[in-house]
Amino acid sequence: MKVEIISKETIKPSSPTPNHLKDYKLSLLDQIAPPSYETLLLFYSFNGDDDRQHHHHISVYKANKLSLQLKQSLSETLTRFYPLAGRVKDNITIDCSDHGAVYVEAQVNCLLQDLLKQPNGDSVIQLVPIELAEESTPGLLLFVQSSFFTCGGVAIGVCISHKIADAATVVTFIRSWAGAAAGDHRQVYYPSYNASSLFPPRDVTATAMLFLNPPFNVAMKEKCFTKRFVFYGPKIAALEAALSVPSTRGEAVTALIWKCAVNASRSNSGVSKLSILSRSVDIRKITVPPLPDNSVGNFVGYYASQKDESDIQLQGLVRELREGIQDFSKSYLQKLQREDALEAITESCKDAIAILISNDVDLYVCNSLCDVSLYDIDFGWGNPTWVTNISSNAPNHKNLVGLIDSSTGDGSIEAWVTLSEADMALFERDPDLLCYAATFDYPSVLKSYL
């Protein structure tokens, strides 16, 4: 599949940002967010997309019409989400002087249905402007790529700096943009900018940042592969029934993936290590009272579950995950709301960092968009055919898991798993995994460091 960038421009808010909103204050959680991007990719097909005799000039006309619709509605949406059109000025403030967002338009030389038959990771990642974001001038916050297929189908890839957005913020922004494009004012969300008042910014020193950004991002020294595994609803129900402990479907799938990944790592290394799995948590849902879903910023925390690899049982892993979220809910929010929040969080990281620096631990990181409504995001063309979060699994990091609900609507979960080449070779053949997951063999390497 060939993706050709045909244009790149800056989209500014349709109305100027008032002077009193020019300086947007980051929250403490924004300040300590990792220097990465949150992404989402949505695919839309149209009637007749499977017609291989579709005339080229009709596709071009459709692309031009959709592009204009997307750019105009994006400009309108940026008026409400004005910080996304700004620039990071320092680690406390975003300059909201309407600099604009980067909008890229691309053409894809294949039919959408052909890509969806076998969504190869190398191909899919070309439809998200993550490479452009990483190579652009520091401080830019929002990148959008609209990719038009020869059949008339379109992929919308959105990439937002983690400095201002977590995954929930990305979804809120896209949903509001889609509502504006469709002319559906019921779906036009007005964001709540309450992050800095709830968690005021601090003087985050270089020393503190060392503790608050543990060495999760050490470059791999071996080839890494990202592959997709689908856990269909009935299989997940069977997995939950096989467990002797209560679990959500996300916990059951996470525990199974963790178990099989640990087994692969232990078989390849020949030794048992301490295994740690870090999971993200949307704290909007666990504050008292809960925060509104349209709260913009980083309202995400992480908790770690750990288990000695010599004692890896599925039920035990599920219990670790459940206890981890319970402990997180009790202690983490209390630390955030203290006057010495930065110092308290830094102190709590010290022991974890000491463990991670050693070579006697395997760290896995899991991010989930399960139970987040995505398949009703309508730009005026109907619901998406497929939604994926593959690029949240950075291709230059191993031991990453990204979960997302599938399009079937029956509770099925898609998992993008990134492991070392050696571990993936064993992981994808694990009998326990194959009892519950359908595998898709994508042999191409997303990225490798030798």
Active site positions, annotated: 162, 378
Identity at 366, one-letter amino acid code: C
For residue 25 the two structure tokens come to 């204050």
Strand-by-strand arrangement of the 87-88 sheet: 23-25, 93-95, 87-88
Phi-psi region of 379 (alpha: psi -120 to 50; beta: other; left: phi over 0): alpha
Q: Coil, strand, or helix at residue 405?
A: strand
Does 384 sit behind a cis peptide bond, omega within 30 degrees of 0 on the bond before it?
A: no
**DSSP symbols for 407-432:** TTSSS-EEEEEEEEHHHHHHHTT-HH
Residue 198: exposure state from Cβ atoms within 10 A (0-12, 13-18, ≥19): middle
CA nearest neighbour of 59 among 145, 154, 166, 185: 154
* DSSP state letter for 50: T
Residue 256: exposure state from Cβ atoms within 10 A (0-12, 13-18, ≥19): buried
Locus of tokens 């998200």: 128
Q: Where are the beta strands (DSSP E) in 12-92?
A: 23-25, 37-44, 87-88
Distance CA 351, CA 211 (A): 10
Cβ neighbours around 238 below 10 Å, total: 13
For residue 75 the two structure tokens come to 């400009």
Distance CA 435, CA 437 (A): 6
Is the CB of residue 82 less than 8 Å from the CB of residue 296?
no
- With vertex at residue 157, the alpha carbon angle to CA 153 and CA 158, rounded to the nearest 5 degrees, is 150
